[in-house]
């Protein structure tokens, strides 16, 4: 194991509690939690206090009206005096600590759905350094609901169905979700530490860890940046400057074969992805997802999934989450393949987001 003094990161407040991540060795990282450990604590949850709710209430007053452009409002527009220091600490916990947080207590009925979305936007501005597009249409607020899609269609994506989604990550440093409507049953959100998965696989199947550290072809699913291929390559397990990061997208990896036989997974790669899913299920932590909950997680150290669900018949009562993708300029160092998804390290300030040929960022407050 490398000496701890080798790891120097001015942004990381947890340097004393981690060791540098060395390829194909056990990783000592605060994000390496187990399901059993989390079951003993509520440290992963922040219940909003009355004063913090007052902050939010004041910050979003008037923002539920028609015509409000959230894109014009940033961190400085939401001072949140009683909440700001807590959000600063939570941001550090997201980037370098446990890797996720659940906020509970947002008064949806009082704020209304549009006011709740504005509150979600306000809190997100303090946790990230700008929003990222979630599709080629430039949506920085995504409305996750069943649109009758299926992930089996290579031009569609799983969040817009009621199907179970395999453990995966999103294309951002931080992904946030706000619960506006819950289903009749199912739809549970589950998280797993990719650090713990790496370590468990290393103990039992080190050959699989080496496979996962090699590039996997991934399908862009017809959302192609200008002058780039409809596919890209990125390992599942990555090590860079003493930090571990993971990225798994089974649906995007699984459909890359449509570009030719050389893009199809090998038998070894299929076995490796199945092993990750199995380990994630074994270590997954389900926190519950109530109306008004806001979940934020670090995609580089957390895999997440959503179970299948039974929805309501009324269109306005169907399961509805609002999603935001955030970049964090002071986030953990990332290897070159993360940047090469979008360009190069010289041309991309921080990798993330989905850009098409004519993408313009916009923030739709209402479900389409």
Mean pLDDT (whole number) for 92-114: 97
pLDDT at 159: 61
Q: Is the pLDDT of residue 3 over 50?
A: no
Quote the CA–CA distance of 151 and 132 in Å, as a whole number: 22
pLDDT digits 0-9 by tens, 38-91: 999 999 999 999 999 999 999 999 998 888 999 999 999 999 999 999 999 999
Q: Is the pLDDT of residue 235 over 90?
A: yes
pLDDT at 110: 96
**Centroid of chain to Cα 61:** 28
pLDDT at 312: 80
* Phi and psi angles of residue 39, each rounded to the nearest 5 degrees, phi first: -65, -15
Tokens describing residue 250: 């089974």
pLDDT at 206: 98
Quote the CA–CA distance of 273 and 266 in Å, as a whole number: 11
pLDDT at 368: 65
- 209 burial via Cβ count (<10 Å: 0-12, 13-18, 19+): buried
Q: Are 265 and 253 in contact (CB under 8 A)?
A: yes
pLDDT digits 0-9 by tens, 147-166: 665 556 665 555 666 778 99
pLDDT digits 0-9 by tens, 282-334: 999 998 889 999 999 999 999 999 888 677 877 778 889 999 999 999 999 99
> Which of the four pLDDT bands, split at 50, 70 and 90, describes residue 100?
very high
Quote the CA–CA distance of 199 and 25 in Å, as a whole number: 8
> Which of the four pLDDT bands, split at 50, 70 and 90, describes residue 1?
very low
- Look at 312 and 363; give whichever has higher pLDDT: 363
Q: Are 108 and 292 in contact (CB under 8 A)?
A: yes
> Which of the four pLDDT bands, split at 50, 70 and 90, describes residue 169?
very high
Q: Are 236 and 276 in contact (CB under 8 A)?
A: yes
Q: Are 70 and 361 in contact (CB under 8 A)?
A: no
Can you give the three-state secondary structure of the chain, one letter per residue? CCCHHHCCCCCCCCHHHCCCCCCCCCCCCCCCCCHHHHCCCCCCEEECCHHHHHHHHHHCCCCCCCCCCHHHCCHHHCCCCCCHHHHHHHHHHHHHCCCEEEEECCCHHHHHHHHHHHHHHHHHHHHCCCECCCCCCCECEEEECCCCCCCCCCCCCHHHCCCCEEEECCCCCEEEEEEEECCCEECCEEEEEHHHHHHHHHHHCHHHHHHHCCEEEEECCCCCCCCCCCEEEEECEEEECCEEEECCCHHHHHCHHHHCHHHCCCHHHHHHHHHHHHHHHHHCEECCCCCCCEEEEECCCEEEEECCEECCCCHHHCCEEEEEEECCCCCCCCCHHHHHCCCCCCCCCCCCCCCCCCCCCECCCCCC
Long-range contacts of 107-113 (CB under 8 A, 24+ apart): 107/53, 107/57, 107/292, 108/180, 108/291, 108/292, 110/57, 111/57, 111/60, 111/64, 112/64, 113/180
pLDDT digits 0-9 by tens, 180-231: 988 776 678 899 999 999 999 999 999 999 999 999 999 999 999 999 999 9
pLDDT digits 0-9 by tens, 255-282: 999 999 999 999 999 999 999 999 999 9
pLDDT at 4: 42
Spatial CB neighbours of 328, under 8 Å, sequence gap ≥ 6:
91, 94, 95, 127, 128, 129, 173, 174, 350
pLDDT at 97: 98
Give the CA distances from residue 38 to residues 35, 281, 283, 286, 301, in Å, rounded to whole numbers and listed in that order. Answer: 5, 15, 10, 10, 15
pLDDT digits 0-9 by tens, 120-151: 999 999 999 999 999 999 999 999 987 665 55
């Amino acid at each position: 194991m490398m000496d701890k003094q080798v790891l120097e990161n001015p942004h990381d407040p947890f340097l004393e509690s981690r060791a540098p991540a060395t390829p194909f060795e056990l990783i000592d990282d605060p994000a390496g939690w187990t399901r059993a450990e989390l079951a003993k604590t509520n440290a992963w949850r922040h219940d909003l206090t009355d004063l913090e709710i007052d902050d939010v209430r004041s910050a979003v007053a008037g923002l539920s009206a028609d015509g409000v452009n959230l894109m014009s409002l940033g961190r400085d527009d939401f001072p949140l005096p009683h909440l700001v220091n807590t959000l600063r600490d939570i941001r550090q916990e997201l980037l370098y600590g446990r890797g996720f947080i659940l906020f509970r207590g947002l008064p949806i009925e009082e704020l209304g759905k549009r006011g709740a979305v504005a509150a979600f936007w306000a809190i997100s501005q303090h946790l990230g350094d700008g929003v990222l597009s979630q599709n080629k249409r430039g949506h920085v607020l995504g409305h996750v609901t069943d649109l009758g899609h299926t992930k089996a269609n290579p031009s569609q994506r799983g969040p817009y169905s009621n199907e179970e989604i395999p453990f995966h990550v999103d294309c951002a440093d931080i992904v946030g979700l706000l619960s506006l409507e819950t289903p009749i049953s199912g739809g549970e959100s589950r998280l797993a530490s990719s650090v713990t998965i790496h370590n468990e696989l290393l103990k039992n199947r080190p050959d699989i860890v080496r496979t996962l550290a090699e590039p996997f072809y991934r399908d862009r699913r017809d959302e192609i940046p200008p002058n780039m291929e409809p596919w890209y390559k990125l390992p599942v397990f990555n090590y860079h400057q003493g930090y571990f990061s993971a990225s798994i997208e089974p649906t995007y990896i699984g459909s890359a074969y449509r570009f030719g036989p050389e893009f199809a997974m090998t038998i070894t790669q299929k076995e490796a992805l199945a092993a990750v899913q199995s380990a994630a299920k074994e270590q997954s932590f389900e926190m519950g997802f109530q109306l008004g909950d806001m979940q934020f997680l670090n995609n580089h150290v957390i895999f997440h999934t959503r179970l299948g669900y039974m929805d309501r018949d009324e269109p306005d009562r169907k399961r509805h989450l609002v999603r935001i993708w955030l970049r964090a300029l002071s986030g953990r160092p990332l290897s070159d393949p993360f940047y090469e998804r979008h360009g190069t390290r010289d041309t991309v300030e921080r990798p993330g987001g989905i850009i098409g040929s004519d993408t313009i960022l916009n923030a739709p407050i209402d479900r389409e």
